[in-house]
Amino acid sequence: MGRIEIIHNRSIEQRGDWRHILPGVVISGIAIGVLIFLADLELFIGALRLADYRMVLTAMFLTLVWLAVRGIVWLLLLEGQATYRQVFITINEGYLLNNLLPFRLGELGRAYLLGRKAGLNFWRVLSSIVVERSLDLAIAAGLLLITLPFVVGARWAQQAAFGVGIITFLILAGLYLVAHNTDRAILWFQRLADRWALLSRLGGKAIPAFIGGLGVFTEPRRFLLVVGMMLLNWLVAVGQYYAFLAAFFPHPRLLWAGFGLGVVALGIAAPSSPGAVGVLELSLVGALAVFGLLPSISLAAAVTIHLTGYLIAGAIGAYGLARDGESLWGLYRNLRQMNVSERE
């Protein structure tokens, strides 16, 4: 292949990337525009200057606790097939990738990186991440539904929570059925693969490995343990948000933290630019506006939450990538061009 052809193919690939990235960038751009319209710059800067940074440090500590518990959750989903150190570092690498790369490649990056470290099949690891993210959405929807009776004027949140809850239930139910009917699921896939070439490319060991990662649905005791640790993880997250809000508001309510966290969790699930820039902030500002809190101060709290996440996960993730001998550009290329043989 000549140099001109290589450059031509690369330019086509980059144009394709931009077509996929553009909707998320537009959504983030709109969110940032709305925030600029709502916020008072002087009040925003004043809130950052007068914040109680002792509470910010408390929230940062709780962020580390949250990451530690999340590592236990993932280790349980993997049935202990990796070390806790590998899992903990890889989680942070995944969050770093999500913050810097498009297409939410951090989730694929986690599967790719941990698969290499622990010698696990890419699809086996990815299935555990699918279960983890599905449980996240289920708990986020549940948190909104629990807090809604105490919130006035948030009918939109109720509709969003019901919608996400139904979708998540269907996903979890589907995964449960697949886990309990593995032979039939593989047979169905093979029949579909005979009709669609794209699915046939994903054959081989990919689908059996993915289904193998759903073993948590076949072991009630382990599933309950996973759910219990996930609930603990979210409880820590509520405490983390409460500490952040306490840094900016004199007498915050736990309800603000719970409702705000639920709205943010569902908000950042929507397409956006890398790191959910603008979307996270607008989600929290909108949630706190229901309680009559000033948008400028809420925005200061949201920006602090976002930057803290970047700092902690970014530092640990960057350490992990350096230790693994990986680069962001190299990982991006691998994840975008990875073929089935590499995944297996």
- Cβ contact 203:193 at 8 Å: yes
Cα–Cα distance measured from residue 264 to residue 285, given in angstroms and rounded to the nearest whole number: 9
pLDDT at residue 14, as a whole number: 47
The answer to whether 67 and 309 have CB atoms below 8 angstroms apart is no
pLDDT beyond 90 at 159: no
Please classify residue 95 by burial: count the beta carbons closer than 10 Å to its beta carbon, then call 0-12 exposed, 13-18 middle and 19+ buried: buried
Residues 6+ apart with CB under 8 A from 130: 175
Least reliable range by pLDDT among 15-24, 34-43, 124-133, 220-229: 15-24
Q: Is residue 52 part of a domain?
A: yes
Task: Give the Å distances, CA to CA, from 40 to 4, 168, 204, 212, 233.
Answer: 51, 38, 57, 52, 34
Identify the band that residue 195 occupies on the pLDDT scale cut at 50, 70 and 90.
low
* Model pLDDT, residue 305: 96
Q: What is the predicted pLDDT for the residue at 6?
A: 35
Q: Which residues contact 73 (CB under 8 A, 6 or more apart)?
A: 132, 226, 229, 230, 233
Tokens read off for 215: 């073993």
Amino acid letter, 184:
R
Min mean pLDDT across 74-83, 126-135, 201-210, 291-300 is at 201-210
Per the domain annotation, does 288 fall within a domain?
Answer: yes
| Separation of first and last alpha carbons in the chain | 27
Number of folded domains that form the chain: 1
In a domain, 220, yes or no: yes
Give residue-wise pLDDT tens across range 249-300: 999 999 999 999 999 998 887 666 677 888 899 999 999 999 999 999 999 9
Token pair listed for 288: 């706190």
Task: List the structure tokens of 294.
Answer: 């000033």
3-state SS assignment for residue 104: coil
**Burial label, 36 (beta-carbon count in 10 A; 0-12, 13-18, 19+):** exposed
Predicted local confidence at residue 308, as pLDDT: 95
Of the candidate ranges 6-10, 96-100, 333-337, the one whose mean pLDDT is the lowest: 6-10
Residue 285 lies in a domain: yes
Got the DSSP string for 129-150?
HHHHHHHHHHHHHHHHHHHGGG
- Does residue 145 fall inside a structural domain? yes
Average pLDDT over residues 224-242: 95
Please determine, for residue 153, whether its predicted confidence score (pLDDT) is greater than 70: no
* pLDDT at residue 343 in the model: 40
Tracing tokens 């549940």 back to the chain, one arrives at: 142
Predicted confidence band at 157 (pLDDT cuts at 50, 70, 90)? Answer: low
Contacts for 308-314: CB closer than 8 Å, 24+ residues apart: 308/56, 308/59, 308/60, 308/63, 308/244, 309/63, 309/95, 309/99, 310/99, 310/275, 312/60, 312/63, 312/64, 312/67, 312/92, 313/67, 313/92, 313/95, 313/96, 313/99, 314/95, 314/96, 314/99
240 pLDDT tier (thresholds 50, 70, 90): very high
Look at residue 27 and tell me if it is in a domain.
Answer: no
CB atoms within 10 A of CB 213: 26
Averaged confidence pLDDT in the chain:
82
Cα–Cα dist 180/246, whole Å: 46
Query: Which carries the bigger pLDDT value, residue 158 or residue 69?
Result: 69
pLDDT of 237 over the 90 cut = yes
Q: What are the backbone dihedrals phi and psi of residue 187, each rounded to the nearest 5 degrees, phi first?
A: -65, -45
322 within a domain of the structure (yes/no)? yes
The model carries a pTM of 0.82
Task: Indicate whether 3 belongs to any domain.
Answer: no
∠ CA 292-295-300 to the nearest 5 degrees? Answer: 125
The mean pLDDT of 181-209, rounded to a whole number, is 63
Question: What backbone phi and psi angles, to 5 degrees, belong to 269?
Answer: -75, -15
Q: Which of 139-143, 238-242, 307-311 has the lowest mean pLDDT?
A: 139-143
Residue 161: which of 240, 73, 258, 266 has the closest Cα?
266
Distance CA 212, CA 178 (A): 10
Summarize pLDDT for 78-92 with one digit per residue, the tens.
988 999 999 999 999
The whole domain housing 177 covers: 40-343
Convert the pLDDT of each residue in 133-152 to its tens digit: 888 888 888 888 888 877 86
